[in-house]
Amino acid sequence: MTVQTEGTGTAGQILDVAERLVQTRGFNYFSYADIAAELALTKPALHYHFRSKALLGEALISRYTDRFFGALNTIDSAGADAQTRLDRFIALYRTMLSSGRMCLCGVFAAEYPTLPPAMCVAVLDFFDRNETWLEAVLRQGVAEQTMVVAEPARDVARMIIDTVEGATMIARAHDDPERFNRVTEQMLSALRA
Amino acid sequence: MTVQTEGTGTAGQILDVAERLVQTRGFNYFSYADIAAELALTKPALHYHFRSKALLGEALISRYTDRFFGALNTIDSAGADAQTRLDRFIALYRTMLSSGRMCLCGVFAAEYPTLPPAMCVAVLDFFDRNETWLEAVLRQGVAEQTMVVAEPARDVARMIIDTVEGATMIARAHDDPERFNRVTEQMLSALRA
DNA sequence: GTCTATAACGAGATAGAC
DNA sequence: GTCTATCTCGTTATAGAC
């Protein structure tokens, strides 16, 4: 149920380092040289695995999205109640924040107008799928009578994503993970029945 | 009550263009050459007014913060109720979003780990002052019996900022300002008494 | 699959003329 | 206050040897 795990092989290690650099510095503020230095490789070796930075970016989103929804699947398969599911969703972001990272797609959203088109499509897809997952959890909470959710529930789902992304970003700037905890707790308490 | 107004003189014009470029592309994805081309100047002319990009960044935050709190002062001097004040606060962000811009300090928060130290200090100061203003509005709403605000009210103020910053970022990626309106409306309705 | 070497370009910044 | 010219460095990317 974690989003950041270690990849296998050289390509996997490249993605690991690149992912961390994007989540901490942004897509436009790291270079192939940074990755090469960390892995004791040369730049052409990276280009062998990822022909261009744009393709590396696409691979990053693809793997991140797979892992993120893998984590959501793990949450689902535990058969927990809606409150617990929502708590665990938020814990995914808390874990990233604890290592000074933003959500990968949150970073990409901030840099959106500068991204290659293929990356843009993948970023929007990530958010759309998140909304769908959250909307289902909210409807479960209503059915369990533990949540009060306004209609359309999808807008509430969007509010949750926006708040969590914003809270991650600003708590990291303050270097204060507790800020994230208190803000998300405020948000959750407003949803409780 | 607007945050984006036109500056006077060459330095003001430089700040105008730089501000727009940061709000749309980020601090790490525009150059002196971009500004120079727009203003039909050369790069050394820009360096005459702002010796380094870091100093330009500091000047950007300083002017933006002044204008932002100028707008909040205008809201205050109208003597409106808390709900109206909060609506007008959110309208400041809506106006930025309508021209494809994020909050300047929201962008800087996303790029925070890459910024020069002096800019970091100024960014945190912007958010702290925002929290203080919002906390006062929330307490006014409680006194007017139009809002239900959990304690500590400062955490609710932080939640509002995080949600608005996140909603701006993600609505812009979707090129859908209505998303911002619906999300912030959901947030506001959770605060109503 | 990784290397050395290099191309081609753009970045921030400075010297010195006008 | 703005210019031409230039410096130095870092960037993405490729050619070709091993």
Assigned token pair, B75: 């809201």
Quick one: how far is CA B95 from the chain centroid?
Answer: 10
Q: What is the pLDDT of residue A28?
A: 97
B116/B125 Cα distance (integer angstroms): 15
Q: What is the pLDDT of residue B1?
A: 64
Q: What is the mean pLDDT of residues A15-44?
A: 98
**Residue B152, preceding bond cis, omega within 30 degrees?**
yes
Q: What is the pLDDT of residue B6?
A: 87
State which amino acid sits at residue A18: A
How many angstroms separate the CA of B29 from the C1' of C12? 13
A95/A71 Cα distance (integer angstroms): 12
Tens digits of pLDDT across chain B (193 residues): 689 888 889 999 999 999 999 999 999 999 999 999 999 999 999 999 999 999 999 999 999 999 999 999 999 999 999 999 999 999 999 999 999 999 999 999 999 999 999 999 999 999 999 999 999 999 999 999 999 999 999 999 999 999 999 999 999 999 999 999 999 999 999 999 9
Q: Is the separation of the CB atoms in B179 and A174 below 8 Å?
A: no
Nucleotides of D under 7 A from a protein CB: 1-6, 10-16
How many angstroms separate the CA of B51 from the C1' of D3? 17
Helices (H), chain A: 9-25, 32-39, 43-49, 53-77, 82-98, 104-110, 117-143, 153-173, 177-189
State which amino acid sits at residue A123: V
B22/B18 Cα distance (integer angstroms): 6
The residues with which B192 forms a beta bridge, in sequence order, are B147
Q: Is the separation of the CB atoms in B164 and B95 below 8 Å?
A: no
DSSP output for B91-131: HHHHHHHHTT---HHHHHHHTGGGS-HHHHHHHHHHHHHHH
Assigned token pair, A4: 């950041």
pTM (predicted TM-score): 0.98
A102 shares contact with chain B (CB less than 8 Å): yes
User: How would residue A5 be classed by pLDDT, with cut points 50, 70 and 90?
Assistant: confident
Q: What is the pLDDT of residue A1?
A: 64
Other beta carbons less than 10 A from residue A179's beta carbon: 20
Name every residue whose Cβ is closer than 8 Å to that of residue A32 and which is 6 or more positions away in sequence. A43, A46, A47, A53
Nearest CA among B183, B20, B154 for reference residue B94? B183
Q: What is the pLDDT of residue A6?
A: 86
Question: In chain B, which residues have their Cβ closer than 8 Å to the Cβ of A99?
Answer: none
Q: Is the separation of the CB atoms in B184 and A158 below 8 Å?
A: no
Nearest CA among B159, B13, B130, B143 for reference residue B72? B130
Contact residues for strand C with beta carbon within 7 Å: A 10, 40-45, 48-49; B 30-34, 43-44, 47, 51-54
* A106 or B2, greater pLDDT: A106
Helices (H), B26-176: 32-39, 43-49, 53-77, 82-98, 104-110, 117-143, 153-173
Assigned token pair, B106: 């929201």
Q: What is the pLDDT of residue A123?
A: 98
DSSP state of B150: P
Other beta carbons less than 10 A from residue A152's beta carbon: 12
Q: What is the pLDDT of residues A30-88, one digit of tens each?
A: 999 999 999 999 999 999 999 999 999 999 999 999 999 999 999 999 999 999 999 99
Question: In chain A, which residues have their Cβ closer than 8 Å to the Cβ of B28?
Answer: 26, 28-29
Q: What is the pLDDT of residues A127-172, one digit of tens each?
A: 999 999 999 999 999 999 999 999 999 999 999 999 999 999 999 9
Quick one: how far is CA B97 from the chain centroid?
Answer: 10
Q: What is the pLDDT of residue B2?
A: 82
Q: What is the pLDDT of residue A136?
A: 98
